Amino acid sequence: MKTIKLLTTLALTVILGFTSCQSEENTELGTNPNANSSTSPTATNFERASMNDGSEDDFLDGSACTELLFPLSATINGKNITLLSKLDFSAALNILGEFNDDDDTVAFNFPINVRLSNYTEVVVNSQSELDALKSDCESAEAQGKDAISCIDFKFPITMLTYNINLEQTGSVVIQSEKQLYTFMTDLNSDKLFTVNYPISATLSNGTEIQINSDAELQDSISDCVQFEDEKDEAEKMALEVEAILTNTKFKVESFIDAGVNTASDYVNWSIEFTNDLKLVAKNTVNATLGEIEGTYEVSSETDVFLNINFGSNNTVSALNNDWIVSAYSDTLVTLKSKTDASVTLTFKKL
């Protein structure tokens, strides 16, 4: 009896909530939190967020819509490599990252197998076929139909199903992203659904969230997509900064710590950023002092970072830091400490 009463109450609630919308077109159903159509924003959000994510291997195939399947082999910057699993990505990245001023090339040994955004697995027989898939991906992205990869749902998720008359027809327990994608793409125009909230998810910034409504789902996706856009922009800026630094000598134009500018301590020193991520500090007045070597790395999140490491107990070790790039041009790179914004360093091109 309790079950019957519960279902009756739910049905009455849904019908009452739908009454004010009965005279509207079917396209308005997506705005009703109790009844989502196959074309509603909620259906679109779930479909895009549950697409197969092929972005992890973008450094090889340049497309987030294709997931490379193993095994496969390729020639990367002239070196042959066989990839048996994702564990081999590090070897490929090491080859690509050996120098930061070269033109990286990846030539697959076709045919290769890939998994598409809709989970279909296809055989790709040539670079032209792979380029065509990449073009399709770019078109989907331009139309807002590509995968949303910044949110990972925690399963199971239960969907309640209804017919067009708002009569409940059942429920579906979904256990995976692929099942969620199939559920959304299989919805017909005469089928409606509601989400049995709350549901949980993890965002790409590591935040775990609880989602209690369709509106909260939309807000969460909007926020994480914005975060991903900021990351993409920072990644582009990092490449620009790295290009400015590479194979170039700089001088310390300004180094302010505790309100004191100590740039004069480095007036006779040049700092060279080599193309293999090495640093060379050289005294331009007294050659007998020799060279001081170090390393650097440009990285990004939503900011651009420059890590400088000259080791300890030498003339330029005070420059060591995890710096945030606050501004840059072809001749100047201005940094601030990641932990203390009052500590700033400016390099000027020689």
CATH number for position 258: 2.40.128.270
Residue 1 has pLDDT above 80, yes or no: no
Residues 105 and 43 in one domain: no
Q: Mean per-residue pLDDT for 170-193?
A: 96
Residues 44 and 175 in one domain: yes
Residue 344 has pLDDT above 50, yes or no: yes
Residue ending a domain, among 101, 126, 142, is: 142
Residue ending a domain, among 109, 142, 175, is: 142
| pLDDT for 164 | 87
Residues 45 and 153 in one domain: yes
Q: How many structural domains compose the chain?
A: 3
What average pLDDT does the chain have? 90
Residue 28 has pLDDT above 70, yes or no: no
Residue 128 has pLDDT above 70, yes or no: yes
**Residue 9 or 94, more confident:** 94
Q: CA 282 to CA 291: how far, in whole Å?
A: 5
| pLDDT for 313 | 94
**10 Å Cβ neighbour count for 158?**
14
Residues 253 and 339 in one domain: yes
| pLDDT for 21 | 36
Residue 17 has pLDDT above 50, yes or no: no
Please, which pLDDT band fits residue 126 given cuts at 50, 70 and 90? Answer: very high
pTM higher than 0.85: no
Q: CA 241 to CA 299: how far, in whole Å?
A: 10
Residues 45 and 59 in one domain: no
Residue ending a domain, among 221, 239, 257, is: 239
Residue 2 has pLDDT above 80, yes or no: no
Residues 38 and 163 in one domain: yes
User: Measuring CA to CA, which residue among 171, 221, 180, 215 is closest to residue 201?
Assistant: 221
Residues 50-85: tens digit of each pLDDT: 999 999 999 999 999 999 999 999 999 999 999 999
Residues 11 and 33 in one domain: yes
Please, which pLDDT band fits residue 34 given cuts at 50, 70 and 90? Answer: low
Whole domain around residue 130: which residue ranges?
Answer: 55-142
Residues 126 and 182 in one domain: no
| pLDDT for 184 | 98
Residues 25 and 153 in one domain: yes
User: Measuring CA to CA, which residue among 7, 45, 43, 12 is closest to residue 26?
Assistant: 43
Residues 185 and 199 in one domain: yes
Residues 250 and 273 in one domain: yes
Residue 46 has pLDDT above 80, yes or no: yes
Residues 223-278: tens digit of each pLDDT: 999 999 999 999 999 999 999 999 999 999 999 999 999 999 999 999 999 999 99
Residues 233 and 157 in one domain: yes
Burial 277-292 (b: 16+ CB within 10 A, else e): bebebbbeeeeeeeeb
Q: Which value, in Å, is the radius of gyration of the alpha carbons in the chain?
A: 27
